[in-house]
Amino acid sequence: MKNQTTQFPKVIIIGGGFGGIQIAKKMNKKEVDLLMLDRHNYHTFQPLLYQVATGGLEPDSIAFPLRKVFQDQKNFNFRVADVKHINPENKSVTTDIGDFDYDYLVIATGSETNFFGQKEIEHFSMPMKTVPEALNLRSLILQNFEEALVEKDLERKQALMTFVVVGGGPTGVETAGALAELKNHVLVHDYPELDIHNMKIYLFEGSERILEPFSLQASKKAKEFLQNMGVIVMEKTRVNHYDGDKVTYNTTETIFTKGVVWSAGVKGAIIPGLEKAEIVRGGRIKTTNFNLVEGYENIFAIGDLAYMETPEWPHGHPGVAQTAIQQGQQLADNLIRIINNEKPHPFNYFDKGSMATVGRNKAVVDLKYWKFQGFFAWLTWMFIHLLFLVGFRNKAVTLINWIVNYFSYDRGSRVIIRKFNRESMMEEGKAV
């Protein structure tokens, strides 16, 4: 398919995530012909997906139309397209709406949930990587409670009120905390006929401690916060199996549950076709220090998908928004240099620190020279997340929602818009 609108070099960007948006924005007014392809027509602010899943925010608050981001950018085009194959031999990509040619290709497809090859866990548990998946989880939580209300079998009733969050990274910690708030402030009032004390929330972490990449201080405090909210935190606990009714962990132990949230890992969202590329641990594509995919001259990878070894980051950069943003910005400059036959500059990551929230007034923040927890950390977490949300409307709506939720202790978005049905979802090929 012909996609050139000018005589300038054609740059295709696959993915309108944190990295893709930055590179396209930074190339505004440059002499390039940009085409962004994404399977969704919106950008997803993944850090707040868990709030959609637990009824705290409307999905529209964390999704932003990509066309709107680039409304005024003359050198930019966008197509909703699922990219199926990269064809380096004829410099094109194959998508569900046809082929597109490029002179330079930037792959910014991020990552997808990693079930580590465990098919049954993949089938029965709930991932949370996209807006539809967060909505599925929201429906499942509410459906489980509706079902528990009428269930006569006590063991099944308990399983419907038991939730296991697997993976004690920031996503798992935030989800477990939000579930506890839902229990303590909302479900207790919505379901007075159920004994809310029977709602159990487990957080399983395979390593020594939750929030392992954070400081010891942050891990300990987050655990304490969660336990005070009623979450059962189990470290050094590995899930072996889940059959839709029963989780098996540490080989022999079991818990009956109808709600398993899987936040135990991600892997690069690889598109087939790059035969010469080296795929390393975590399904990431190895790149040079200026994001060029090794083995190719005009194909680049940024963000979660890219694996770049540097002296400071010998095992690659963290899979966080800042890596994608900074690599996107740097590659925009480098692409112009490359087009002008100048030498590209190596990427230097500026680590701005890590943070996770556990619930109202509770968060942990690790900066290079300062680590703090509690109310001020929570305010910092909110401020930073609002700052990076795309679009003024989304910032305003989210802030208003947070203020209302804070004073009312409520979660207004607890509606089952679309019933979650695992079997029909599977028939659609997980078309979420």
Residue 295 burial by Cβ neighbours in a 10 Å radius (0-12, 13-18, 19+): middle
The nearer residue to ligand FAD, 11 or 321, going by C-beta atoms, is: 321
Question: From the CB of 387, what's the least distance to ligand FAD, in Å?
Answer: 12
Of 161 and 301, nearer to ligand FAD (C-beta) is 301
* 79 vs 97: CA distance, rounded Å: 9
Which is nearest to 11 in space by CA: 37, 32, 40, 41? 32
**Could you give phi then psi for residue 264, rounded to 5 degrees?**
-95, 0
Distance, CA of 235 to CA of 207 (rounded, Å): 6
Query: Which is nearer to ligand FAD, 272 or 346 (by Cβ)?
Result: 272
Q: Is 205 part of the annotated catalytic residue set? A: no
179 neighbors 137 (Cβ within 8 angstroms): no
Q: What DSSP character marks residue 223?
A: H
Residue whose C-beta lies closest to ligand FAD: 17
To ligand FAD, the closest distance from the beta carbon of 259 in angstroms equals: 17
CB of 44 to ligand FAD, least distance (A): 6
Q: Are 432 and 136 in contact (CB under 8 A)?
A: yes
Nearer to ligand FAD, 291 or 405 (CB): 291
- 383 burial class (0-12, 13-18, 19+ CB within 10 angstroms)? exposed
User: Which residues contribute to the site for ligand FAD (CB under 6 A)?
Assistant: 14-20, 37-40, 44, 46-47, 49-50, 82-83, 108-110, 128-129, 170-171, 269, 271, 303-305, 319-322, 324
Looking at the Cβ atoms of 21 and 255, the one nearer to ligand FAD is 21
* Catalytic pick among 58, 122, 155, 174: 174
How far apart (Å, rounded) are the C-alpha atoms in residues 301 and 328?
9
Distance of closest approach, residue 251 Cβ to ligand FAD, in angstroms: 28
| Residue 14: CB minimum distance to ligand FAD, A | 5
Residue 363 near residue 36, CB atoms below 8 Å: no
Tell me 47's DSSP state.
G
- Tokens, residue 4: 């050139």
Of 201 and 271, the one with the shorter C-beta distance to ligand FAD is: 271
Q: Using CA of residue 406, residue 170, residue 62, residue 123, what is the dihedral sign?
A: negative
User: What distance lies between CA 187 and its chain's CA centroid?
Assistant: 26
Cβ 322 to ligand FAD shortest distance, Å: 6
Compare residues 193 and 428 and give the one whose CB is closer to ligand FAD.
Answer: 428
CB 411 within 8 A of CB 55: yes
Q: Roughly what angle, to the nearest 10 degrees, separates helices 170-181 and 216-228?
A: 20
CB of 220 to ligand FAD, least distance (A): 20
> How far apart are the C-alpha atoms of 199 and 190, rounded to whole Å?
13
**Residues with active-site annotation:** 174
